[in-house]
């Protein structure tokens, strides 16, 4: 039977005081922090996805712990153990991360008004691409932060969003979640080509079309009072400054 096992490798090192701390979880290579309830949901989803595959164990392995006041942030990796003992690391394995240092592929997509938009028009200018979709809560949550970053770099950097959704679906989302990027739609072929499987993704590209950084959602942090809050996107600003 398929099962998910959480290996608390450093369990013996956790003091009785630490056991009373509020626990949060962060997957290795990603920036999003989740609470215990959402972490349990992640385990359930992993189990469900593997029901149609050969017998495997998906192990969630703790690799790091960071304490702040009454909170404990646990960093974990996902590891699949196949029949015969073959181990495959699943964390940070999206193909899109391999694009850093490479030229972003040419593409032609349509905007919200149905106009064709070619990547050729983005040459000779720094570019920030954001990939999202209408059912992605983390995508919507970071939109105000991305809007602020766009406002700060207006005229210096191009900001474009790409989704596999239709124009009508995007327009409906924008009614409740203002997102000030230039929107391109029905980009599934491009998304599959570059290997994005988890959302959101932000890709920073220099004026020569070279991918300089691939990032997940805006980084979350644990505040001084122990609450998980969304950051201000300073990690994106840092990468933008490198390509100006």
Q: Please write the tens of the pLDDT for every residue from 88-139.
A: 666 666 789 889 999 999 999 999 999 999 999 887 899 999 999 998 988 9
- How much is the pTM? 0.70
- What is the model's pLDDT at position 182? 97
**Residue 13, pLDDT above cutoff 70:** no
> What percentage of the chain carries pLDDT values higher than 70?
79
**Residue 185, pLDDT above cutoff 50:** yes
- What is the model's pLDDT at position 88? 65
Task: Give 228's contacts (C-beta < 8 A, 6+ positions apart).
Answer: 24, 33, 34, 35, 220, 221, 222
- What is the model's pLDDT at position 39? 83
Per-residue pLDDT band at 53 (split at 50, 70, 90): low
CB 54 within 8 A of CB 82: yes
> How many other C-beta atoms lie within 10 A of the C-beta of residue 94?
18
**Residue 77, pLDDT above cutoff 70:** yes
**Residue 233, pLDDT above cutoff 70:** yes
- What is the model's pLDDT at position 180? 97
Residue spans of beta strands (DSSP E) within the chain: 3-7, 22-27, 33-35, 57-68, 71-81, 87-89, 108-111, 116-118, 127-131, 158-162, 182-185, 201-205, 211-215, 220-222, 228-230
């Amino acid at each position: 039977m398929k099962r998910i096992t959480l290996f608390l490798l450093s369990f013996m090192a956790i003091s009785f005081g630490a056991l009373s701390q509020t626990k949060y979880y962060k997957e290795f290579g990603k920036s999003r922090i989740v609470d215990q309830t959402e972490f349990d949901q992640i385990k359930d989803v992993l189990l469900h996805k593997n029901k149609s595959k050969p017998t495997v164990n998906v192990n969630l392995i703790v690799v790091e712990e960071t304490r702040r006041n009454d909170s404990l942030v646990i960093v974990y990796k996902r590891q699949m153990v196949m029949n015969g003992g073959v181990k495959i690391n699943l964390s940070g394995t999206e193909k899109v991360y391999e694009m850093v240092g490479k030229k972003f592929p040419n593409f032609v997509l349509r905007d919200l008004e149905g106009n064709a938009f070619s990547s050729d028009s983005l040459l000779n200018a720094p570019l920030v691409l954001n990939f999202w979709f209408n059912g992605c809560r983390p995508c919507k949550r970071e939109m105000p932060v991305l809007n602020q970053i766009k406002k700060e770099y207006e005229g210096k950097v191009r900001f474009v969003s790409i989704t596999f959704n239709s124009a009508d679906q995007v327009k409906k989302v924008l009614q409740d979640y203002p997102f000030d990027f230039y929107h391109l739609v029905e980009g599934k072929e491009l998304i599959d080509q570059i290997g994005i499987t988890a959302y959101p993704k932000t890709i920073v590209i220099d004026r020569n079309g070279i991918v300089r950084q691939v990032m997940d959602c805006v980084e979350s942090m644990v505040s001084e009072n122990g609450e998980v809050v969304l950051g201000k996107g300073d990690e994106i600003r840092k990468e933008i400054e490198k390509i100006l």
